[in-house]
Every structure is written in structure tokens, then in C-alpha cells.
């Protein structure tokens, strides 16, 4: 039995496709396909077809819930801010660990 014979031709509702594309946008196409039990290539096609003329209807409600595109410079600035915040948090954690070790030694 070949691979094509084992895979049935499934039909998906428009709502399912829109939700699958939304999930793929948030967690990635491969992860969304695995979670939904849909072939990865199918999800990729739905995502690709969403931009152009496609059979997936993008309702205003669906379009409103998709994340807005942000400029690269804004994302880079946020990334730098988050890296600084992470470095500060790691430093704080290191200080707390040293203080805890000091007080454990003092209490003995």
C-alpha cells in the first residue's frame, strides 16, 4: 500500500482553516500541524494562501484577532530591553543565592 492510498482526502471547514492559520501564526506551522493532526504541508498552504486570493475567508473578526505586524526597529528595541532586563534579573538572582548561602552558614 503506497502512502497516497493510506491518506484519505479530508475536507476541512473554513472556520477550522482560519483557526489553524491563526494557531500557525502564534506557535509556528509545524507545531500547529502536529497539534491539530493535519499534514504540515496543508497548514503551510493555508498560511501561504491567506495573503492572496484564497478559499479561506478572512472575516473581520478573524482579521482583528491576528497579531499586527510591528517594525523591525521596534522589535529590536524590545529585544534589547528584554535582554537588559534578563541580565539584571540574573544578577539579582545570583545576589539572592549568595545571601541565602551566607545566612545558612551563619545559622549553623
Same domain, 36 and 52: yes
Same domain, 15 and 64: yes
In the chain, the number of structural domains is 2
Same domain, 63 and 85: no
Same domain, 49 and 64: yes
Asked if 48 and 38 touch (Cβ cutoff 8 Å), the reply is no
> Using one digit for the tens of pLDDT, what is the confidence trace for 12-51?
888 888 888 988 888 888 888 998 988 999 999 999 988 6
Q: What angle do CA 93, 27, 67 make, to 5 degrees?
A: 95
Rounded Cα gap, residues 28 and 57, in angstroms? 21
Count of CB atoms situated within 10 Å of the CB of 58: 14
Residue 53's domain comprises: 11-68
Place of cell 471547514: 13
Rounded Cα gap, residues 21 and 60, in angstroms? 15
Please state the pTM of the whole predicted model: 0.42
Same domain, 59 and 80: no
> Using one digit for the tens of pLDDT, what is the confidence trace for 8-23?
678 888 888 888 898 8
Amino acid at each position: 500500500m503506497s502512502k497516497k492510498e493510506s491518506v484519505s482526502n479530508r475536507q476541512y471547514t473554513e472556520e477550522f482553516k482560519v483557526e489553524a492559520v491563526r494557531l500557525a501564526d502564534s506557535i509556528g506551522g509545524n507545531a500547529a500541524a502536529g497539534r491539530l493532526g493535519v499534514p504540515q504541508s496543508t497548514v503551510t498552504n493555508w498560511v501561504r494562501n491567506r495573503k492572496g486570493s484564497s478559499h479561506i475567508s478572512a472575516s473581520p473578526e478573524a482579521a482583528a484577532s491576528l497579531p499586527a505586524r510591528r517594525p523591525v526597529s521596534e522589535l529590536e528595541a524590545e529585544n534589547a530591553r528584554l535582554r537588559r532586563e534578563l541580565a539584571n534579573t540574573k544578577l539579582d538572582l545570583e545576589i539572592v543565592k549568595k545571601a541565602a548561602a551566607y545566612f545558612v552558614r551563619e545559622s549553623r
